[in-house]
Amino acid sequence: MFIAFYVCYARNELVKFSLNYSILKVIISLKICRIRSYELNHELREPSRISYQSTISAKNVLVLIETDEKIYGIGEAAPFKPSTGDVQKTALKFLKLANDKLKGENPCNIENIQFLLREISKKIDFNSQTAKTAIDSACYDILGKVKNKPVYKLLSSKKPITIPNTITVYIRSIEETVKKIRYIMNKYRRNGICRVKLKLSGNPKLDKKRVLESAKIFPGEFTLDANEAYKNADLAIEVFNDIFEVLGSRVILIEQPSPRDDLKKLEYITERCKIPIFSDETVATLEDLEKIIERKLVKGINIKLQRAGGIFWAKQMAELAKASDLDIMVGCVFESGIAISQDVNFLAGISGWACGSDIDTDYEIKKNLVSEESRISFRNGGRIPLDRPGLGLELKKWVKDLIIKNRS
Ligand SMILES: [Mg+2]
């Protein structure tokens, strides 16, 4: 009997061992075979005008990481020079170098991958945060697929809560702003839209009027984004406090009122403005955040993965911000459904830490790349990640065909 039990025990252990071993084998021995990059030239539905730039297209890059176990990962680089510091050409060049450097490396060891990407940056005379972000996305996608978990579940075991998400109204006349607000209310009513973001121009009269007229129509909350437009700090304080007098706490926050490098001005406005000031352009990376924290310049920060270098760095930014009592919002640049999935998984992965998100550019891009089933939904006022392994994305047929065509 003892022998029978022993044999049975040994066999079970052997089965367990071989099962664990096979999972372990995949994790340990998964190797990057190739990093493929494709130009993604998105057209926007309409011009997006912010204080320093008007945009009608987004020249992005689609990234696919292939592994020896035939598990692939997907990512998107979304360069927007004023925000991310790079352009499509730089991202493509960086990705080519990354392909050489990362071949044979384990994509599931994201810390090592990020270390190697930093090594590339140190060696060359340019950097591409968006290329790093796309590689980070593909690696998390692979890791999620290996572990059979959505990416947000790799970041936290907590159930995510729905965070209010804004749809953005770019700079336009008062009449056009009102028209756009009506359009948004109608289009996103079923999504439970509860918050709208207005881009500000730096023209105090126009900005005040656009916000107040919008608030007469839209019953929900607002966020405002000046994109550095107010060079005169006292004027900014006057405009913002006037808006506060009428709308009170319906205006949740104001992003980046003054020039990014003028930290004194940012601090001055934060101290005197009744609406919480968030930094956006001032805080691109973890290093920038460390500077902000030292001087306690703002009430909160806007974390954008494309500037941070991906989830790996953004998670550290969120942890540092949380530990320093800074509020967090998660934003994006001009990204399609691929990068948006990475953003939303990150947002869900930091769960209740964020007070808001501005993840909406997939609605601004004319041609959608991912299938309807794998599109990130907008429900009850917030963006919700997919409950599928990795980023859970399925590319549309025309994108797959394009990849095959460019491969041969
Ligand atoms: Mg902003």
The stretch 354-377 carries a mean pLDDT of: 95
Q: How far is the CA of 225 from the centre of ligand 1 (A)?
A: 5
pLDDT tens per residue across span 103-145: 999 999 999 999 999 999 999 988 999 999 999 999 999 999 9
Verify that 365 and 321 share a domain, yes or no. yes
Q: How far is the CA of 187 from the centre of ligand 1 (A)?
A: 23
Verify that 214 and 127 share a domain, yes or no. no
Domain closes at, from 126, 148, 170: 148
Residue 18 lies in a domain: no
pLDDT at 87 over 90: yes
Residue 181 lies in a domain: yes
Q: How far is the CA of 89 from the centre of ligand 1 (A)?
A: 24
3-state SS of the chain?
Answer: CHHHHHHHHHHHHHHHHHHHHHHHHHHHHCCEEEEEEEEEEEEEEEEEEECCEEEEEEEEEEEEEEECCCCEEEEEECCCHHHHCCCHHHHHHHHHHHHHHHCCCCCCCHHHHHHHHHHHHHHCCCCCHHHHHHHHHHHHHHHHHHHCCEHHHHHCCCCCCCCCEEEEECCCCHHHHHHHHHHHHHHCHHHCCCEEEEECCCCHHHHHHHHHHHHHHCCCEEEEECCCCCCCHHHHHHHHHHHHHHHHHHEEEEECCCCCCCHHHHHHHHHHCCCCEEECCCCCCHHHHHHHHHHCCCCEEEEEHHHHCCHHHHHHHHHHHHHCCCEEEEECCCCCHHHHHHHHHHHHHCHHHEEEEECCHHHCECCCCECHHHCCEEECCEEECCCCCECCCCECHHHHHHHHHHHC
What is the per-residue pLDDT for 11? 38
Q: How far is the CA of 114 from the centre of ligand 1 (A)?
A: 26
Domain closes at, from 148, 180, 213: 148
Verify that 120 and 228 share a domain, yes or no. no
Verify that 296 and 353 share a domain, yes or no. yes
Residue 5 lies in a domain: no
Domain count, the chain: 2
Residue 390 lies in a domain: no
The stretch 192-198 carries a mean pLDDT of: 98
Verify that 122 and 86 share a domain, yes or no. yes
Q: What is the CATH number of the domain that holds 347?
A: 3.20.20.120
Question: Which residues span the domain enclosing 61?
Answer: 32-148
Verify that 178 and 95 share a domain, yes or no. no
Residue 1 lies in a domain: no
Verify that 285 and 379 share a domain, yes or no. yes
Domain closes at, from 148, 165, 197: 148
Verify that 110 and 234 share a domain, yes or no. no
Confidence of residue 352 (pLDDT cuts 50, 70, 90): confident
What is the per-residue pLDDT for 28? 57
